[in-house]
Amino acid sequence: MPEADVTYADVKFTTPRSRGNVAAEDSTYSEVKISNKQQPVYSNCSANIQQSGSSRRSKVTPERLVLLGLVVLLAAALIALGVTFVQTNQNLQTLKEEKETLKKNLSNIKPGSKSSTTACPTCPTCPAYPTCPACPPPPPTPAVKRETFLKCEAGWEKHGGNCYYFSTSKSSWINSRRSCVDLGSDLVKIDSREEQLFLEIRLRGLMMKDTDKFWIGLTDSVEEGKWFWVDGSPLDESLSFWSQKEPDDWKNENPAGEDCVRMGERGGSHDLTCWFDKACNVSHKSICEKPAAPGRRCV
């Protein structure tokens, strides 16, 4: 508001008197002038407010803003943690209540009680057995059927009820037999035409040349001309498979003659006849034989 002068004019006050008195002297106030050159109060207030606000704004620094943000985040985390804690307590309380309810239900179901009898499922499907006396026992589990079969060790070949080992190591007849005995077997004894067929065909693929033959468990070393198998049984002439003009007990190589038997024809033989007598000290391959071991398997 602009500066203004206030001027009071001359004021004269007349005091009335009573009629009997002389009029009193009048009092006159001289001119009064009040000059106010100061700015209005509200103008100063506005300036002070602007200075205060400017001062306050200058005190809000970036560090304080970051601190304020951290405080807000911490408060939010505490609130979230509190809410999670409350919910967890509620869930635990609910689980405890359910556990107590299950305990009560189980305690009420006892074998022989009416509640347990009525709670049993209808047959024939009674999964509650044996806790449910009203239900019959479940059918027995069928027994696993086991079938007996014969088996041979690794490196042995099974044929019929026997296992055969075709040794490629060459040695004399007696040493070949010892090797078979060490393996829990003996030199092969041929009991049938079918067994002779199996061995004759098998040796075709194992013989590298015509003289590459195999010892079998037949000898006449005890008495010339009387052939016996290694188990002591005599040779059945109806089941003999001598090659043509064999046995001949040829003594040109060994004066003791030929008292042991070898077998095999590289290209195959006529009517399975492939036995040859030979001096027992000659080195040949051999055939070991033993019964197949019984085994069991589930069916």
Q: Tell me: the pLDDT tens digits for 104-142?
A: 766 665 554 444 444 455 555 555 445 555 566 666 666
- Neighbour tally for 292: CB within 10 Å: 18
Looking at per-residue pLDDT, the higher value among 94 and 42 belongs to 94
Non-local (6+) Cβ contacts of 131 within 8 A are 109, 111, 116
Q: Determine the Cα–Cα distance for residues 201 and 267; give it in Å rounded to an integer.
A: 10
Contact 273, 242 (CB under 8 A): yes
Would you state the pLDDT for residue 130?
Answer: 53
DSSP line for 248-275: ----SS-TT---EEEE--TT--GGG--E
Q: Determine the Cα–Cα distance for residues 148 and 6; give it in Å rounded to an integer.
A: 139
Looking at per-residue pLDDT, the higher value among 96 and 268 belongs to 268
- For the ranges 139-148, 176-185, 205-214, the lowest mean pLDDT is seen at 139-148
Contact 87, 93 (CB under 8 A): no
* CATH number of the structural domain 148-297: 3.10.100.10
Side-chain-side CA neighbours of 246 within 13 Å: the count stands at: 18
pLDDT per position as a tens digit, 49-95: 455 444 445 556 888 888 888 888 888 888 988 888 788 878 788 87
Would you state the pLDDT for residue 137?
Answer: 65
| Of 261, 252, 263, 265, the residue nearest 280 (C-alpha) | 261
Coil/strand/helix, residue 52: helix
Would you state the pLDDT for residue 1?
Answer: 42
| Of 57, 3, 59, 7, the residue nearest 31 (C-alpha) | 7
Would you state the pLDDT for residue 118?
Answer: 47
Q: Is 175's pLDDT higher than 90?
A: yes
Looking at per-residue pLDDT, the higher value among 187 and 31 belongs to 187
